[in-house]
Amino acid sequence: MQDAREWLRSARSVAALTGAGISAESGVPTFRGAGGLWKHYRPDQLATPEAFAQDPVLVWEWYLWRRGLIAKAEPNPGHYALASFERRVPAFVVVTQNVDGLHERAGNRNIVKLHGDIWKSQCLNCGGEYADDRTEVDALPPLCDCGGMLRPAVVWFGEGLDDGVWNAAERAVRAADAVLVIGTSAVVYPAALLVPLAKESGAKVIEINPDETPASGLADASLRGPSGQILPELLS
């Protein structure tokens, strides 16, 4: 912990790569932990274009259920620690795999959302993207004003990430003197590539996760514990 604090103190620019684990203490289920299941479906069975094409109502029910959970959730001390850190370190970027919006709610502004935003919907017909905070919809699937079908504005498995978003994430990690890898199982690509990229760019990599992950071998420090407890101590 002391080394990590020292690296952060002397860092000119810092990036934080976050995954579902940072929201676990807010009561938002992770993808691969317990509680991530809904009606016996695994996320990777529902978060795909194929699942949506086959049964858009089922996929929407899952997203509305998640929105309902997230709407009741609050950012936790880990989110707030990152928000106060952004106010202290000018060059600080949060690169998140999460779609829950808890980083904004905690106060972070400089955020790269690798996998989109559950609080936005996109029209399959006209491509329009709208803020959408509905947790219930009478007639599913919801329709756009143009009559086209709406989908959640998130990146599903098998879908490419937006080029601009990926470039921003790469730039943030390449420029960072220290990269925090928080609450991610580091199995989803291309997001997981940002850790070796950080290493190659000479950044100090600090992993915060109760468990070992495929990224642990690349970490200069692995802080084993819940981010809601570790981040406030690490970043204070």
Which chain residues interact with ligand BV8 by CB under 6 A? 19-21, 24-25, 30-33, 44, 47, 97-99, 115, 154-160, 183-185, 187-189, 208-211, 213, 226-228
Residues touching Zn ion, count (CB under 5 A): 7
Determine if 10 is a binding residue for Zn ion (CB under 5 A): no
| Residue 125 contacts which entry, Zn ion, ligand BV8, none (Cβ below 5-8 A, type-dependent) | Zn ion
Beta pairing class for 150-154 and 178-182: unpaired
Beta pairing class for 111-113 and 91-96: parallel
Determine if 153 is a binding residue for Zn ion (CB under 5 A): no
The one among 4, 94, 123, 176 contacting Zn ion by CB under 5 A: 123
Based on the residue annotation, tell me whether 115 is a catalytic residue of this protein. Answer: yes
| Residue 31 contacts which entry, ligand BV8, Zn ion, none (Cβ below 5-8 A, type-dependent) | ligand BV8
The one among 68, 126, 133, 210 contacting Zn ion by CB under 5 A: 126
CA distance 118 to 128: 15
CA distance 172 to 27: 29
CB neighbours of residue 52 within 10 Å: 21
Q: Tell me whether residue 49 or residue 190 sits nearer to Zn ion (CB atom).
A: 49
CA distance 219 to 72: 34
Contact assessment for residue 22 and residue 182, using Cβ atoms and an 8 Å cutoff? yes
